[in-house]
Structure 1
Amino acid sequence: MVDVRGRWALITGASRGLGYETAVFMARHGCNLILHSRKLEHTKKVEEEVKALGVEAYCVQAELANHQEVVAMLDEIEAMRIPIDIIFNNAAVQIAYRTDYWKTPMEDFDLSFRINFIAVATICYRLIPKMIQRGFGRVINTTSGIKDEPEQAGYSASKAALDKFTKDLGTKLEGTDVMINLTDPGWCRTDLGGPNAPNSIESSIPGIVVGAFLDDKKSGRLLPAQCFTGMSLEDAVVKGRTFEG
């Protein structure tokens, strides 16, 4: 199992929900954090909390729908000369539920792809080559199990693109200590998932982070978080090794 103490993780969407839970969990295991949100003030609370746990933390901001802002954020991180060892591409947007899906506006696809896919690809293309140079890296891309719902076509299509991107890129990393995998948190009661979701945010732990601790040099897997609910991290890692790409 990977020891993350002293390593650096970038978490997108770190101010609330699953990103917040990820930040606190990683900090408790000694991992330093770069906390992303749309505005710096949004991550002030979580920054204070994780620093109180004894780790270093910095906040960065970017509207992920704006490619120039994503690039500027990455430029800022590189200027810090902080080696990013772990990436949690957690942030996402879920466009309105389109009951009359035949009239789905193309803007749904545009915004969904810019945030849920293009921003993630931009981050991966910038940071993974440096992981390869250093000989270590973990990337966990958050996907969704939504299917057969054309009412959410923009969101589902963007996540399908993310799945394909992750699995294809994973074939180039297989057998190395730079690993890229997917996690599906399940339908959780978050701002995105809504109050009627069947799962609590806490049920996604340790499943949404287990990919950061795996050490079997396998990429391109889907690690459904709800399969690990209630498990210790150590047991979750053992179970995670059984999943195939």
Structure 2
Amino acid sequence: MLNVQNRWCLITGASRGVGREIAKKMASLGANLILQSRCRKHSEETAKIVREMGIQALSVECVLEDAKSVAAMLSEIDSTSLNVELVFNNAGLMSQYFVDYTSNTLEDFHQAMAVNFYAPIQIAYHFLPKMIQNGFGRMQLTTSGIANEPELAAYACAKAALTKFVKDFACKLNGTDVMMNVMDPGWLRTDLGGPKAPNAVESVIPGALVGVLLEDKKSGRWFSAQDYVDMDVESAVKKAESVE
């Protein structure tokens, strides 16, 4: 299992939900954290939690729908000269639910793609070149197993595009110590998943971490967080090594 002690890790959507759970667990493993949220003050509670664990934490902000805002955040991170080696591209937005599933609007698709696809790949393209140059890095993008729900077509299509993006990098990254995979958290009781979801947000740990903690030099894989419920981190990583 990868030793993340003192490595700098960027987590998007870190103010709540899955992002906060990832932040707390990564902090417990010794990683220092850059915590993104829409407004800097929103991630300060997460920052306070991890700082009390003896971890360095920096809060940054950007509006993911706005490519210029994302670029400004990335420039701010660069200005710190911190070596970001681990990235959890976690933040996402659920699209509108269209009861009349033939009435989805282009506006809904544009927003879903902006947050769930364009922003994550903008972040990926920023950090991947340096990771490749340095010969080390880990990146995980959050996908979804949503299927057969044209009522949520915009969200589903954006996540499918994200998965395709990651899978196609495998032919370039496999065999190197730069790894990029996707993680499906499952249907969770969060602001995104809603109160009727069957799984507590805490159930994503440790499964939400395995794609970053592996050392087998394989990329392009799909990890379902719910496959690792009630496991310790080391056992989860060992199980994940068998995923092709």
**Shorter-chain TM band:** over 0.9
The aligned amino acid for 1:241 is: E
Query: What residue in structure 2 maps to residue 130 of structure 1?
Result: 130
Matched, 1:148 2:151: no
Distance 1:65 1:97 in 2: 19
Distance 2:229 2:136 in 1: 27
The aligned amino acid for 1:21 is: E
Distance 1:34 1:180 in 2: 19
What are the Cα deviations for residues 53-100 of structure 1, in whole angstroms up to 9, with x where unaligned? Answer: 011110000000000000110011011001111110110000121010
The aligned amino acid for 1:101 is: Y
**How large is the Cα RMSD of the aligned pairs?**
0.6
Shift of 1:103: 1.0
Shift of 1:101: 1.3
The aligned amino acid for 2:5 is: R
Query: What residue in structure 1 maps to residue 15 of structure 2?
Result: 15
Matched, 1:177 2:177: yes
What are the Cα deviations for residues 109-168 of structure 1, in whole angstroms up to 9, with x where unaligned? Answer: 100101100001110111011011111111111000100100000000000000000001
Distance 1:50 1:135 in 2: 28
SS for the counterpart of 2:186 is coil
Q: How does 1:22-33 map to 2 (within 5 A)?
A: 22-33=22-33
Matched, 1:240 2:240: yes
The aligned amino acid for 1:185 is: P
Report runs of 4+ in structure 1 exceeding 2 Å deviation: none
TM-score norm. by structure 1 comes to: 0.99
Distance 1:28 1:59 in 2: 18
Query: What residue in structure 1 maps to residue 2 of structure 2?
Result: 2
Query: What residue in structure 2 maps to residue 198 of structure 1?
Result: 198
Query: What residue in structure 2 maps to residue 110 of structure 1?
Result: 110
SS for the counterpart of 1:230 is coil
Distance 1:226 1:164 in 2: 21
Matched, 1:90 2:90: yes
Distance 1:167 1:112 in 2: 20
Shift of 1:171: 1.8
Shift of 1:170: 2.3
Distance 1:127 1:46 in 2: 23
Q: How does 1:187-226 map to 2 (within 5 A)?
A: 187-226=187-226
Distance 1:113 1:172 in 2: 25
What are the Cα deviations for residues 218-237 of structure 1, in whole angstroms up to 9, with x where unaligned? Answer: 00000100000011111101
Query: What residue in structure 1 maps to residue 57 of structure 2?
Result: 57
Q: How does 1:30-41 map to 2 (within 5 A)?
A: 30-41=30-41
Distance 2:153 2:223 in 1: 23
Distance 1:83 1:109 in 2: 34
TM-score norm. by structure 2 comes to: 0.99
SS for the counterpart of 1:103 is coil
Distance 1:234 1:242 in 2: 14
Distance 2:55 2:171 in 1: 33
**Number of equivalent positions:** 244
Distance 2:226 2:114 in 1: 27
Distance 1:98 1:64 in 2: 23
The aligned amino acid for 1:147 is: A
What are the Cα deviations for residues 158-210 of structure 1, in whole angstroms up to 9, with x where unaligned? Answer: 00000000001222111000000010000010100000100011111100111
SS for the counterpart of 1:85 is strand
Distance 2:88 2:43 in 1: 15
